[in-house]
Amino acid sequence: MSRLYDGPIFDAHVHFWTYRAGERDWIETETGAPLARSFAFPDYARAAQGLAVEGVVWVEALAKDPVAECGDASALAGPLRTGVVAHAPLDAPDLEQRLDRLAAAAPTLRGIRDIAAAAPGRPSLARRRDLLERPAFAQGLRALERRGLVFDLMLEPGQMNAAIALAAALPKLSFVIEHAGNPDFSSIDGARAWRDAMAVAAERPNVALKLSALHCRMPNWTDETLLDPIRWAIGRFGVERVAFASDFPAHDRTCPMARAYLTFRRAAAAYGPSDQRALFYENAQRIYRL
């Protein structure tokens, strides 16, 4: 077994924002609204507790003004090298103009997220539950492909076949599955559905995976119980298509960032030094063309 990774980190998924009441409705509806404040580099540095983070992929957080939100990203990230994944409604008729405005606001714009995650009987942050089936949505993905942008894919396991059909139709577009594909480890059926979905996704060479937010998907998690799904996912996708990420500050409500990274490091200890460096540092930069 290799030693725990202690090299540089490029965090593949973080959120920073300047809090304004009413700007992000999902924050206001949470019990106790623990995220109802501003988050920027000093907060992240405290949560990281000395981790050697050199850069981050900043991801939009459903602001009502996506252009202003992504325009603030680099300033909020302070000294960290920053790639930006902004929001745009991919089925909008004026998508090209929206993408132009986002690119002007964020010189390091590297990707777009338009949340698709929806499951029967569960609340959803998606604008529409049928986004992945809409022809206009597929047209929007083609616009990203032409511009060399990444599509950050937040979905539920039951939506994977529809998503992978799009990935197959757009082989030059990079799809990055967020939050390990939102597994449900609270039941045997949920875990099986996740593995089946991930097996389908891993077959597409233009699909990569961010391993984040796993602690909040498994009740009563331990490092030992998370070790198997982490290594299984890496085995399916291959080391070169997986990047570790914190999902700061959302994930910190379940498990503090530094503690979560310890889980990932223990899982990655099964791999050699060059593979560990790829998982924690190199892959995020290559995937997002930073």
Q: For 157, which DSSP code?
A: G
DSSP letters spanning 230-242? HHHHHHHH-GGGE
Report how far residue 59's alpha carbon sits from residue 92's, in angstroms, rounded to the nearest whole number: 20
Confidence band for 31, pLDDT divided at 50, 70 and 90: low
Which pLDDT tens digit goes with each residue over 86-134?
A: 999 999 999 999 999 999 999 999 999 999 999 998 899 999 999 999 9
Distance of CA 248 to CAs 31, 46, 59, 103, 160, Å?
18, 11, 10, 24, 25
Contact yes or no for 199/209 (Cβ under 8 A): no
Question: Does residue 1 surpass a pLDDT of 60?
Answer: no
Question: Does residue 170 surpass a pLDDT of 60?
Answer: yes
The larger pLDDT score, comparing residue 28 to residue 259, is at 259
Distance of CA 47 to CAs 13, 50, 223, 260, 279, Å?
14, 9, 19, 11, 20
- At residue 290, what is the residue type? L
Task: Tell me the average pLDDT of the chain.
Answer: 96
Which pLDDT tens digit goes with each residue over 216-251?
A: 999 999 999 999 999 999 999 999 999 999 999 999
Confidence band for 28, pLDDT divided at 50, 70 and 90: confident
Q: What's the average model confidence in pLDDT over 50-73?
A: 97
CATH superfamily for 9-287 is: Metal-dependent hydrolases (3.20.20.140)
